[in-house]
Structure 1
């Protein structure tokens, strides 16, 4: 399959990006659904990821569906859009975001969006926090995760986790952060994660979000819900034998 690669016809924070109706609609949806901190975060994640793509050799770059990547990166945190219909009562936030993006594409994407492309977006969002899985998937999935991770922790720690995939440089990173400021990011991450632990604790026990519950939410505990707890409960004979 030849990737659909729109011309990079727009500059945002100095980064050439694809200018397509669906990407622009995704930006509008994220802006309407998220507070400033959340919107700035997803835009930084997209732009850091697009910078990575732009640094690839032309042949490699031509194989990437930059529109699918863009939609995934921009909508990757729709599962954090409180007071919207995107948030379920029983799913991890990554799946909520992936489902929201899939529904959005089916409604707005048009004939160019077949099930393969839609699934690529779904996978990119659902796996974006699972660094040790996403980096071995398709480039769009890996770069959604890598761009998001790097936006959060910085270029050097991004390289430590993803290796040679991370080619966005510090100058680009700083320019992106100037246009979409990082101030208040930690507080936003804390508030959002704590709210998810309160809203649907069962969907956070096996997810990194649960770390905030254990640290900040009275009465919250992963104990009894961890994989080791489930297996020791299901396999009592084996446990006693050891």
Structure 2
């Protein structure tokens, strides 16, 4: 989506952004790539509407990498998929000479993008990645965008027919091999939805059955 007087949001025109785009395009499904790009636009539009100061390039890289942990590259990982994505973005940025403070912002943005109640109190890039992801996946804040804004973003990066179920499938396939990584997050919802045999870990049972209670 090109810049225009109405939206004033563009993908950063830098070698870093172009390389991030190509890497993610070559790695992710079309559904995840388009989703990640829309996340950037939603986040940047929210940032502009709220008058936040943020680095578009950092937000873009965070958006590009935020779901790479769901891909088959990490089919043997036992880490949270968010941490895999954060680590991949960290390595990418280090290889491009980006400073530690900026890398930390991107790492935290990706690692925390599925953790409600925390990102909005941190750096703008961290808050905006979560807000953009929430908008694209669950429609959080949908009514705060104009019809024109939503139409322009989706026209440039289409939301596939059946996106909701396809996105749930992406989450499921990206985490079914590491169910323990979903404990304490809402990610176990995806496993429970797709696998009737999945059993959630219950923290109350862990506390009640701990060694402290059976000395």
Fold conserved between structures, TM > 0.5: yes
Displacement of 1:168 after TM fit?
Answer: 4.3
1:52 & 1:94 partners in 2: Cα distance?
A: 22
2:69 & 2:149 partners in 1: Cα distance?
A: 28
Contact 1:91–1:203 (Cα < 8 Å) also in 2:
yes
TM-score by length of 2: 0.87
- What does residue range 111-150 of structure 1 map to in structure 2 within 5 Å? 113-150=98-135
Residue 39 (str. 1) matches residue 29 (str. 2): no
| Partner in structure 2 of residue 172 of structure 1 | 149
Deviations 1:188-231 (A, max 9, x none): 22212222343111112333221122232143201xx2322221
- In structure 2, do the counterparts of structure 1 residues 97 and 197 end up closer, same or farther at CA, with 3 Å as the change threshold? closer
Residue 158 (str. 1) matches residue 174 (str. 2): no
- In structure 2, do the counterparts of structure 1 residues 236 and 126 end up closer, same or farther at CA, with 3 Å as the change threshold? same
| Partner in structure 2 of residue 210 of structure 1 | 188
2:192 & 2:138 partners in 1: Cα distance?
A: 22
How many equivalent residue pairs?
210
TM-score by length of 1: 0.78
| Partner in structure 2 of residue 164 of structure 1 | none
| DSSP-derived class of the 1:16 partner | coil
| DSSP-derived class of the 1:18 partner | coil
Selected match of 2:3 from 8, 11, 14: 11
- What does residue range 81-120 of structure 1 map to in structure 2 within 5 Å? 81-82=71-72, 84=73, 86=74, 88-107=76-95, 109-110=96-97, 113-120=98-105
Question: Which gives a bigger RCO, structure 1 or 2 (Cα 8 Å, sep 6+)?
Answer: 2
| DSSP-derived class of the 2:11 partner | strand
Unmatched segments (≥5 aa) in structure 1: 1-9, 161-166, 238-242
Residue 220 (str. 1) matches residue 198 (str. 2): yes
| Partner in structure 2 of residue 196 of structure 1 | 174
Displacement of 1:56 after TM fit?
Answer: 4.6
Contact 1:206–1:226 (Cα < 8 Å) also in 2:
no
